[in-house]
Structure 1
């Protein structure tokens, strides 16, 4: 029995999910099918009875042990679990009850969209890189007809002109009995979006902590991407589907894990074909309740598409339900086949699984918005949004096209064909944990010539229940190198079209590990129905493996004429669980004295940042050294990976705050870096940095053999200012003073001299001949600016 909540002994109440030992209905049904055992209605009734008996037994034992709990909700289809509220002090007693396997918190959930960016994609989706393929499928009559798609979200506006053709109703799972939040109750058969007039008089217009508006729109935006009808430039990927709304998010987009689990159960019972989950929880674990529910829904025959998350480009930022090993986790690509910086990356834990599975267009997607039943409002009921929330329904739409074309395909068949045929994006920029199999190619996914998959055994429910997982990826997982290692995975290649032919196998290693190799037993083979390939990992013994020691890449299977290609990503982790204490190993600048008045100075100055861990929300800011106030930002992103990064310091740069061209004026600055590692800030600073593009100004005179004068320069001002802070410097550290004497054009002597702190100077020379000698005073500042005076 595991307990994933903190054991604080208080009377504080906590909302939890209790997982029980008996397998849920969907899992037991699938087990029978895999073993060739008929599964009847009576069998299902018997299983439900056994689950009910176990749940009642646990509840009775809780009461017998005086464990306070509120009215529980029971799950039996995709989970055997009880959601309820108990006191924290009773966690230990609950853990000791027979048949209780796991207790975890009922977490708040959120949708996976981001605020609209300044970038504007074309209004109509004809410009996205795969639209022509979708159009080709429509021309064949494949638009998703007869496929039942459920959108588990904030609801769908059934009156929207782009959606009402596909809308088939749905269920409201949100309780609106809180009169301080809602102005009225909601019927169970009304899954429309939360409208502004449902807000009570005392409820704020925006959520106190989230800042989200009370009214919702997210589900309608998702629905348009799946099934829009093109009334105003929005045509979904699969406009022929039967669209169902399962409202799990209410006002302010509030929702909970238990509500989502209830909706998934209902969707399986109602025999939905595909579920779209554009939402996430803050967990990268594969055995999270939501990921387990997704696995079991897939075992029941339902395709489940979910987001990877919007937590940035940091390694391991994938979020549940995207961590489900059997589900389809979707990352966010742009129209020019790059990855959006917000799109979460894998691997998931603890099996080093390759996530996301695939990526699809999700940046600045133009789609439907609710009009809340106001007829005049629908003319402008459209907007752009960005996120894996927008990428997931693209994949949901393609899955619907695949399901129509191949109704006999299982959810895993659909996933394999979809990922096999994806376009692998630039591997120098994106590895397998960034893009998975690559960007979706809809036509190839619906009409694959061949498929290739690896069958692995996985724990589908976190309780040791092992099932077969067929997928278009090869996960070697965590590999210990206590001795030389050889691991072989079997990849089955199937001829779908029956064309046969000769195929070549190419191994592309994108992230090498010294001494490790990936090989195939048949680099070339003739396909006649089916062919089994041995993909073998070999790696030498190593006693000093470290964090991020791994081998990543792709297996490409290509027809001899190059007309057909499928790819399978692979990954193996050799770190043996090694971790690092996040640290900034280097934060330096090539010059702390910078002049933009000197040609090519821009190319000479840069900041070097070296980090040993992946960081979230890194920022490189320009700060006023004197006031310590941030002035602008040279760099900001959702995440960055470990390694060494270089950033030029330019006179004119694009502000990451305003996205506008900005000039770095003369002054005293610091460069500050901030990032987050495991929820804790990691910071460093470089300063003071002097930006100075003016030349020293020199005045002076000769009196006998004495040369005296005054240097006026910003460095003298800088020193005076810093002296007031106790950080002054000797002006001679920044201003190099020298003189030279020439006689009739010939150099007689040259030497350096010292300036007084106020810039005055006096130099005694041995002898001068005013009639033919010339004295030149030169001041060179630390930034490289020169000033001269000839006397």
Structure 2
């Protein structure tokens, strides 16, 4: 079984989704079509009755075994399952039922929001580097006419002037029957955003753990990116837009709400569905990912976010793990991959995710005004900028609608391949195939491809061993054992879409190499006449000692001789043979721990060197007062870093991760702490004490007869006193090196070292000193590189 539960009270009631063995209606339809049997209305009724009969049989058996079950909601179209409330103690009993395949929690789901930003009142759509491509498509009359797109989200402000003309209807799937959660109930046909007026007395304005506001706006923002017009111009402004409300208060919902929405989309024969949301799972076998696979089999283009838990590897989240769906990452305006955008691969099949990227950073779009609950709402400023894969997904949904309008007979697989093949591959030195997939979408090229190349593969789409053909724009070799020499072949089918033919060459660009592993293409050159099949071969020699992250990745590029046509497909193979690592910090050190930031330091460069053996989420370098242990500032913070070794420069003037402002690193005693997370495991390391000291020592001294006496005043003496109070003092002469130079007859002697007392006082005998003739110089150099010199006079 794939589900894990934390044990608590055995009588505790929990929400679950119970999956059964009979094929859902979508798969029964597919089986009939593969056998050449028309799936008539009568066949549909028969399939529906068979699934319903099994569900009723299982529920009756549960009752017979004294398994208390309530709030049953059936799914029969894209899943054969039902959601229900059961007692924790009955989980084992349910799992043991013969017709139950698995159980998983009916968990909370949230919109995939990363950050939001204040925005000017003007529409800056033209800043989008892809806007000219969209304008060219609109000029050709390709604006999404006749394409039905359902947005599964927090609802919509259907009165917004940018959306009211394209909105064609919707449904609410959020249960508002609990008066402690909502001040009023909802009608099934009301997909409006959650209004502030629906907040009951006692409910917080903001969620105590997530900080999300009670009222919602996410779905309206997504809808504007997809289909807005007037204040914003959506990608496909003439689609037929449907809103399925699956998030309620605090932009939260349940897995079962999503499943209801997907089933409704299939029933209403939507062309495209958009899910700007993510769950806490990187598995391809999550219920929503499987439901999306089945929706694609029913003819729907299923688009979802990769998630906002990047940039670490393996951070892609369901339903962006759907094998047949389109997972979307977030690109910035300057064609970088946004650091928050989740990365692949998905598990367990090492699939390349995200599939493509689209603009999702600081995207200007529509905001609701809740006019149902207040009069006189003004829409002049009903816009906002948001960042996240939530914003990238509807961009792809819009482009998919344009493709579907231009090519109404294309399947979801054709549309996915067109998006992937024609995408622009971003900087491969920065971003590998698991960062960007096929690259950033190019709308005009995706609508008007000259050729398309399909990787013909069979995949398991529901976790039950059943394989389906999945023609796609990526080549996934998956996990490959090197217990022996291997040679694996896959097929590419190249189609001449425009009918122009031509001479083509195929090249392989390796991004990450491993041993002698290589990908070759046969034939490497061809004349395209309608269709051409290519064999893609992976070869590698036996290697029983592979380790975690031993892999081969890159891009297959197909271009005609004059380079006027070029498409690409990313590929990946994992040779680790299931090897894993225990997350660890392998190295954490500073180039030096006494800092003055003077030019005398080696190269003027001080850095922290960090090596981790796995990807780490939320890494930070914290500056802490070593004496009080109180945090001072953050020198570095990101959403994640990948395994490997890196250096973080330590500067006297640095940009604070807390305030974002330039900050001066003051003199003092610090520790530099590293913190990060690997799933639920915390990684921590500390360097200290670290001394920051930018001042020179102050030296005073005198000589009486043959005795030299003096005092050094310096921060290191103060530092030592502070450390002694916590039992960690040091020998002062380790930090302050004192010496004298005696000059006789104009000739300087060798430097002679002497020791300081712990309070900085010193004395030594110098009988050879001749007053009026000799010169005595005392030099004190601290461990940070600061030096002071004192010329000594004999006391009169």
Q: TM-score, normalised by structure 1?
A: 0.98
The partner residue of 1:324 within 301, 322, 325 is 322
The equivalent of 2:66 in structure 1 is 66
Q: Do the aligned partners of residues 118 and 786 (structure 1) sit closer, same or farther apart at CA in structure 2, a change above 3 Å counting?
A: farther
1:13-36 residue CA offsets vs partner (Å, 9 max, x unmatched): 111111111111111212322343
Single out whichever of 493-502 and 180-189 deviates more from structure 2.
180-189
CA distance in 2, matches of 1:121, 1:413: 39
Aligned residue for 1:34? 34
Give the distance between the partners of 2:119 and 2:762, measured in 1 at CA.
56
Whether contact under 8 Å (2:118, 2:385) holds in the other structure is no
Quote the Cα distance in structure 2 between the aligned partners of 1:621 and 1:525: 57
Aligned to 1:752: 753
Secondary structure at 2:181 match in 1 = coil
Counterpart Cα distance in 2 of 1:692 and 1:122: 50
How far is 1:106 from its partner?
A: 0.5
* CA distance in 2 between partners of 1:444 and 1:115 (Å): 30
Q: 3-state SS of the aligned residue for 2:416?
A: helix
Asked whether the equivalents of residues 121 and 381 of structure 2 are also in contact (C-alpha less than 8 Å), the reply is no
Give 1:314's aligned residue.
312
Question: Of the candidates 234, 237, 240, which is equivalent to residue 236 of structure 1?
Answer: 234
5+ long unaligned stretches in structure 1: none
Moved more, 576-585 or 35-44: 35-44
Superposed, which structure 2 residues align to 1:283-682 within 5 Å? Answer: 283-373=281-371, 374-598=375-599, 603-682=604-683
Give the Å deviation of 1:603.
3.5
Q: Contact 1:334/1:340 (CA < 8 Å) preserved in 2? A: yes
Structure 2 CA distance for aligned equivalents of residues 632 and 118 of structure 1: 26
User: In 2, Cα distance between the equivalents of 1:362 and 1:22?
Assistant: 40
Q: Which residue of structure 2 aligns with residue 204 of structure 1?
A: 204
Q: Distance in 2 between matches of 1:602 and 1:254?
A: 53
Deviations along 1:617-662, one digit per CA (max 9) or x if unpaired, are 1111111111111111111111111000100100111111111111
**Residues 203-253 of structure 1 deviation map (CA, whole Å, 9 limit, x = unaligned):** 2212233221111000000000001102x3x11111011111101111111
Q: How does 1:48-67 map to 2 (within 5 A)?
A: 48-67=48-67
Distance 1:121 1:727 in 2: 58
Residue ranges of structure 2 left out of the alignment (5+ in a row): none
Q: Does residue 92 in structure 1 map to residue 92 in structure 2?
A: yes
Distance 1:123-1:621 versus aligned 2 partners, 3 A rule: farther
SS at match of 2:509: strand
Q: Hey, what does 2:696 align to over in structure 1?
A: 695
Q: Equivalents in 2 of 1:362, 1:181: separation in Å?
A: 32
Aligned positions, number: 789
**Which residue pairs with 1:725 in the alignment?**
726
Instruction: Give the distance between the partners of 1:372 and 1:600, measured in 2 at CA.
Output: 61
User: Which residue pairs with 2:194 in the alignment?
Assistant: 194
Deviation at 1:764, TM superposition (A): 1.1
Does the aligned pair in 1 maintain the 2:26–2:294 contact within 8 Å?
Answer: yes
Q: How many Å apart are 1:41 and its aligned residue?
A: 1.2
1:790 shift after superposition? 1.5
Using the alignment, how far apart are the partners of 1:123 and 1:581 within structure 2?
49
Take 2:390 and 2:59, find their aligned partners in 1: how far apart are those partners? 38
Q: Secondary structure at the match of 1:92?
A: helix
User: Normalization by structure 2: what TM-score?
Assistant: 0.97
The alignment yields a C-alpha RMSD, in angstroms, of: 1.6
Q: Secondary structure at the match of 2:503?
A: strand
Q: Is the contact between residue 603 and residue 648 of structure 1 (CA under 8 Å) also seen in structure 2?
A: no
Q: Classify the secondary structure of the residue corresponding to 2:749.
A: strand
2:568 is paired with a residue whose SS is: strand
**CA distance in 2: counterparts of 1:117 and 1:784, whole angstroms:** 45
Which is further off, 207-216 or 311-320? 207-216
Q: Is the CA contact 1:360–1:394 (under 8 Å) kept in the aligned structure 2?
A: yes
Deviation at 1:433, TM superposition (A): 0.6
What is the deviation of 1:62? Answer: 1.0
Aligned mates of 1:160, 1:454 — CA distance in 2: 42
Q: Aligned equivalents of 1:39 and 1:236: distance in 2?
A: 37
Deviations 1:369-415 (A, max 9, x none): 00111443311111111111001011111111111111111111100
Of the candidates 268, 271, 274, which is equivalent to residue 270 of structure 1?
268
Separation in structure 2 between the aligned mates of residue 749 and residue 482 of structure 1, nearest angstrom: 67
1:76 is the counterpart of 2:76:
yes
Could you tell me how far apart the structure 2 residues matched to 1:347 and 1:549 are?
Answer: 14
Q: Which whole-Å CA distance do the structure 2 matches of 1:36 and 1:556 have between them? A: 37
Q: Structure 1 residue 254: deviation in Å?
A: 2.4
1:518 deviates by: 1.0
Matched, 1:223 2:223: yes
Q: 2:58 aligned with 1:45, yes or no? A: no
Please give the alpha-carbon distance, in whole angstroms, between the structure 1 residues aligned to 2:637 and 2:385: 22
Using the TM superposition, give the Cα deviation of residue 122 of structure 1 relative to its aligned residue in structure 2, in angstroms.
8.9
Decide whether the 8 Å contact of 1:312 with 1:637 is kept in 2.
Answer: no
